[in-house]
Structure formats: C-alpha cells, structure tokens
Amino acid sequence: MKPRDKTPVDGSDEASLFRDAVRDVEPMPAADKAIHSRKLPRPNIQQRSISTPDNSFANYSSASEMEPGGEHSFLRSGVSRKTLKQLRRGYWNTDDQLDLHGFTRDEALRELDEFLNTCSMRGFRCVQIIHGKGLNSKNQEPVLKTLVWNQLKLYNYVLAFCQAGPADGGSGAAVVLFKVSATKRTR
C-alpha cells in the first residue's frame, strides 16, 4: 500500500475539507469476536440417563438443566446465535400457543408432548408455551417452567427457545423455534 499524499487539498466546499481531514484514516480490521486473555477450566459435567419423548434413553447433561428461578435460553448445536437473537426479538410470528396453567406435572408433560408433535407435523415454525411463573406453587418455585424448559431440549425438531418478551408473558412463557420441515420448504 503506497503512502497517502500529505499535501493539503485545495477547495472551498465542505466535502473537500472533510476529505482533507480524513485522508490518512484507514478502516479498522473487522473483528466479530471478543478476545479473552485467560483460559477458563473446562466444566466437569455429570452425565445421567433419562427417558426421552420417544421412550428411548439418552445421555443428558445435568449442567444444562434449568435451575428454579433461572433465566436462560437454548440453542441447538450448529445453529447460529443470530437465530436466538431473532427469536428473542420476535422475528417469527407465533403459529400456535399452549397454556399449561392448572395442569399437574404429568398432565403438562402429556399436553406438551402432544402439542409439540402436532405443531411439528403441521410445519409450524414458532410457537409459544405458557407455563406460568410458579407464584401459586409450593415455595413459589416454577415447577412447570423448569419441567417445560428441560423437556424442550429433548425434541430433535426444536432448534431454539427462550423466555418470551414482557408483552407475551415474560418469565411465565417460552417461545420455541422449530426446524423447517422439508414439505414447508418446497411450498
């Protein structure tokens, strides 16, 4: 790259003055990742087997379980973080919703399983699940919220999910993004 000419630009208009002021400026290199100076130790993750929705058994990381009262999101491996950001911002319209208020744990599991499978077969892209905040539960722990968030990770067709926006239920609801089915893509 050749050095830029340092002679002043002759001109009376503002554009010439601006060009003269920035003629030595060079663009910064594009950096889309933060560089951390210290390496953190890898977490010791305990594995346990649990039953999945299709009655098979799978290794499931206890570190990914949702703690009561916790706020987090889920993004399946290989899916862009941009997808989760779009889901949080309401990029996709919700195709359907399930309200689990008043259900027992077992009833909620059955309803959730039926709802998710039906939505997947219908080719829905985004749904909302209202699980409540657990304010009327024993010790005010969000039993259904924890149950729903841990269960959603087991469905292969669920790409991502996160807490709904304040206008859509906030911490009392989850927004779920499905994989696009092959039949939906060809339409």
Residues 82-114 pLDDT 10s = 998 999 888 999 999 999 888 888 888 999 999
CATH number given to 68-186:
3.30.1370.110
Average pLDDT rounded to a whole number, residues 161-178: 87
**DSSP output for 96-149:** EEEE-TT--HHHHHHHHHHHHHHHHHTT--EEEEE----TTSGGG--HHHHHHH
Question: How buried is residue 129: exposed, middle or buried, by Cβ count under 10 Å (0-12/13-18/19+)?
Answer: buried
Q: What is the mean pLDDT of residues 5-32?
A: 75
DSSP reduced 3-state for 170? helix
- pLDDT band per the 50, 70, 90 thresholds, residue 180: confident
pLDDT exceeds cutoff 80 at 139: no
Q: Report pLDDT for 103.
A: 86
pTM (two decimals): 0.59
23-51 pLDDT per residue, tens = 998 877 766 666 656 665 655 544 444 44
**Alpha helices in the chain, H assignment, sequence order:** 14-22, 81-88, 105-121, 143-152, 182-186
Cα–Cα dist 111/98, whole Å: 8
Q: What is the dihedral of CA 169, 112, 122, 175, to 10 degrees?
A: 30
Q: Is the pLDDT of residue 155 over 70?
A: yes
Per-domain residue ranges for the chain? 68-186
